[in-house]
Chain A
Amino acid sequence: MIIVLLFLAVFAPLLSSHDPYQVNLEIRNQPPSAANWLGTDGNGRDVWTRMIYGGRVSLSVGIVAVSISTVIGVLIGSVAGFFGGLVDMVLMRMTDIVMSFPMLIVVISFVAITGPSIYNSMIAIGILGWPTMARLVRSQFLYLRQVEFVTAAVALGARPPRLIFRHILPNTVGSIVVAVTFAVSDAILLEAALSFLGLGVQVPMPSWGNMLRDAQTLSILENRPWMWIPPGLAIMLAVLSINFIGDGLRDALDPRIVL
């Protein structure tokens, strides 16, 4: 499923002969037809085209944001878990604080201050999403820190950076991959919410969230469902399939968890 969506997003230009930005007032609000597979929106733009281009935007926001949060999370988690003691305590309290706030409120405030744009949403979701990752990596480090092969490496005179990056981190990759998958689906949902509120990706650039925003009036909601059902379903399917992948990966990579 996600492969199909990714495929659509990557090859968007080849799969549609329309331009996602081309306004054509002569064919406004058209229901689905042979020329416009999913109809057109209030500005005469092709909904199908905007949806697959929107997929590009939404998926890339998810991926970039999670890359940012993963790097921060892994760094903080490894340092906290490896060094322990005071460093650990300070870093974990920081993590608790960031974690305890309703994510949406913080992200919204950040975007409201920096100004809404696709890049700011990526950054906002990225720099606020790391606590889960940090906690996970830390707990793995606490465990792996005292495993024999690490003790052996210490005995051989390996220094902290080498211990962290060569000996411990590779063993946490499995859990990290699982967490990353779930983080991507969260990020996509968050981006959709931001764009829906008008604080994420800005029109005319299409994203699944802002396509739904455009359809908020009751007349569109009632009479032109082709404008808002497809992008909504797209978000749902993308998130759902990523979650299923994450679940499968967890079963495959982490035999300890019994569900």
Chain B
Amino acid sequence: MSKYVLRRLLINIPVLLGVTLVIFALASAMPGDAVVAMISDESPLAEDLIAIRRGQLGLDDPVPVQYVRWIINVLRGNLGYSYVSGTPISAMILDRVPATVQLMGTSLVIAVILGCMLGIVIAVRRASWLDYMLTVMSFVGLSVPVFFLGMVLVYVFSLRLGWLPTSGRVTAGEQYSFVDNLRHLILPATCLVLVRTPLFMRHMRASMLEVINNDYTRTARGKGLRERTVLVRHVLRNALIPVITVVGVTLPALFSGAIIVETVFQWPGIGLLYINAITQRDIPVLMSITTITAVLVVFSNLLTDIVYSVVDPRIRYS
């Protein structure tokens, strides 16, 4: 087992290097660089001064050299500085992590639990009116654009009914209070839950139906076990395995955040930071977030595989 994990880790190193290479190559192809970004409009500098500063920052070196230097810095935990504000990027990101984890964590947990439960229910009561209704609803849920849903929620619950705040994480200028924070959380979290639940529900349902038709389920029933025992111990435990993958795929989003939802609700998470970095052409921030996302993608894939082998003893790695 540990040998397998180690090997997978080693395989992923070239993958990650490849990804960072692509990110770096694309980023250096972008117009504008650190020096140009640092010059304010009020004090235009002479061309030769710009050139000197470029040399000091090593921007005259060939791209491969710059890449190696960047990667070494990243490994040391130094992500560089924002072009726009000049603050260290690692601080900027750490600052945003709690907001994103709060929003994504809440909505992901609710969506997974709700989606799996609904999926189990409609798989057991297949072809009932509940099944049809939820299936149609899940179609709608998968078809509605998140931002439109968010706007409708804001329109109804904030603007028309006035129950909840429209945006942000806390009321500006007020003393922080947990209740206030929760009130801000409700709408964006609901938005994400509504969009994600159908996904988990459909996977859960399909996976349940697959297992229900298996021979061992028939055997368990044939042994005279209670239907409840069959469903929980034999069907559910096997049906959950494929769903783990679906959950695993969504894990990196815990970090990268739901870009669109964070934009609609101005939720100060990583997603919003990313979008702002793009509109301001803040390339180092962009690169850092993309790189961290890449690392997380690789690790969550690895984690998914490990969990897989723990819950499913049939899978053996040699």
Across-interface contacts of A198 in B (CB, < 8 A): 279
Q: Chain A's interface: helix, strand, loop or mixed, by majority? A: helix
User: B146 at the A/B interface (Cβ < 8 Å)?
Assistant: yes
Beta-carbon nearest neighbor of A238 in chain B: B143
Cα of A197 to Cα of B286 in the assembled complex, Å: 16
Q: How far is the CB of B275 from chain A (nearest CB, A)?
A: 6
Report whether A97 and B144 are in contact in the complex, using a CB–CB cutoff of 8 Å: no
Q: Which residues of chain A from 193 to 237 have any CB-CB distance to chain B below 8 Å in the complex? A: 193, 196-199, 209, 212, 215-216, 218, 221-222, 225, 228, 232, 235-236
Give the interface size class of chain A.
35 or more
Report whether A109 and B286 are in contact in the complex, using a CB–CB cutoff of 8 Å: yes
Report whether B154 and A108 are in contact in the complex, using a CB–CB cutoff of 8 Å: no
Report whether B27 and A228 are in contact in the complex, using a CB–CB cutoff of 8 Å: no
Q: How far is the CB of B253 from chain A (nearest CB, A)?
A: 6
Q: Which residues of chain A from 96 to 122 have any CB-CB distance to chain B below 8 Å in the complex? A: 97, 100-102, 104-105, 108-110, 112-113
Contact of A221 among B151, B275, B294 (CB under 8 A): B151
User: B5 at the A/B interface (Cβ < 8 Å)?
Assistant: no
User: A259 at the A/B interface (Cβ < 8 Å)?
Assistant: yes
Report whether A221 and B143 are in contact in the complex, using a CB–CB cutoff of 8 Å: no
Q: Which residues of chain A from 179 to 195 have any CB-CB distance to chain B below 8 Å in the complex? A: 185, 189, 192-193
Across-interface contacts of B264 in A (CB, < 8 A): 216
Across-interface contacts of B279 in A (CB, < 8 A): 198
Across-interface contacts of B154 in A (CB, < 8 A): 221
Give the interface size class of chain B.
35 or more
As a 0/1 sequence over residues 285 to 318 of chain B, the CB contacts with chain A under 8 angstroms (1 = contact) are 0100010011001100100000000000000000
Q: How far is the CB of A122 from chain B (nearest CB, A)?
A: 18
Q: How far is the CB of A222 from chain B (nearest CB, A)?
A: 4
User: A243 at the A/B interface (Cβ < 8 Å)?
Assistant: yes
Q: Which residues of chain B from 182 to 224 have any CB-CB distance to chain A below 8 Å in the complex? A: 206, 209
As a 0/1 sequence over residues 237 to 277 of chain B, the CB contacts with chain A under 8 angstroms (1 = contact) are 00000000000010011001001100110000000001100
User: A239 at the A/B interface (Cβ < 8 Å)?
Assistant: yes
A113-B26, A221-B159 given; A199·B148 CB < 8 A: no
Cα of A36 to Cα of B143 in the assembled complex, Å: 28
Q: How far is the CB of A215 from chain B (nearest CB, A)?
A: 7
Cα of A221 to Cα of B156 in the assembled complex, Å: 10
Report whether B297 and A100 are in contact in the complex, using a CB–CB cutoff of 8 Å: yes
Across-interface contacts of B209 in A (CB, < 8 A): 258-259
Cα of A93 to Cα of B220 in the assembled complex, Å: 39
Report whether A102 and B252 are in contact in the complex, using a CB–CB cutoff of 8 Å: yes
Across-interface contacts of B18 in A (CB, < 8 A): 97
Most buried by A among B145, B159, B166, B253: B145
Cα of A189 to Cα of B142 in the assembled complex, Å: 10
Contact of B140 among A222, A232, A240 (CB under 8 A): A240
Q: Which residues of chain B from 24 to 52 have any CB-CB distance to chain A below 8 Å in the complex? A: 26-27, 29-30
Contact of A218 among B15, B159, B274, B281 (CB under 8 A): B159
As a 0/1 sequence over residues 245 to 259 of chain A, the CB contacts with chain B under 8 angstroms (1 = contact) are 001000000000011
Report whether A236 and B148 are in contact in the complex, using a CB–CB cutoff of 8 Å: yes
Across-interface contacts of B301 in A (CB, < 8 A): 100
Report whether B148 and A212 are in contact in the complex, using a CB–CB cutoff of 8 Å: yes
Report whether B166 and A218 are in contact in the complex, using a CB–CB cutoff of 8 Å: yes
Cα of A196 to Cα of B261 in the assembled complex, Å: 11
User: A244 at the A/B interface (Cβ < 8 Å)?
Assistant: yes
Contact of B145 among A105, A112, A192, A199 (CB under 8 A): A192
The 10 closest A-B pairs by CB, nearest first: A232-B148, A239-B143, A240-B143, A222-B159, A112-B278, A236-B144, A196-B147, A100-B297, A192-B145, A113-B26
Q: 10 extra interchain contacts, Cβ-Cβ under 8 A, other than A108-B274, A108-B275, A192-B147? A: A97-B19, A101-B293, A102-B256, A105-B293, A108-B259, A109-B26, A109-B286, A185-B143, A236-B143, A247-B139
List 28 contacting pairs A-B, 8 Å CB cutoff, sorted by A. A97-B18, A97-B19, A100-B301, A101-B293, A102-B253, A102-B293, A102-B297, A104-B259, A105-B293, A108-B259, A108-B275, A109-B286, A109-B290, A185-B143, A189-B143, A192-B147, A193-B146, A197-B275, A198-B279, A199-B278, A212-B147, A221-B159, A222-B160, A228-B151, A236-B143, A239-B143, A240-B143, A259-B206
Question: Which B residues are closer than 8 A to A by beta carbons?
Answer: 15, 18-19, 23, 26-27, 29-30, 139-140, 142-148, 151-152, 154-155, 159-160, 166, 206, 209, 249, 252-253, 256, 259-260, 263-264, 274-275, 278-279, 281, 286, 290, 293-294, 297-298, 301
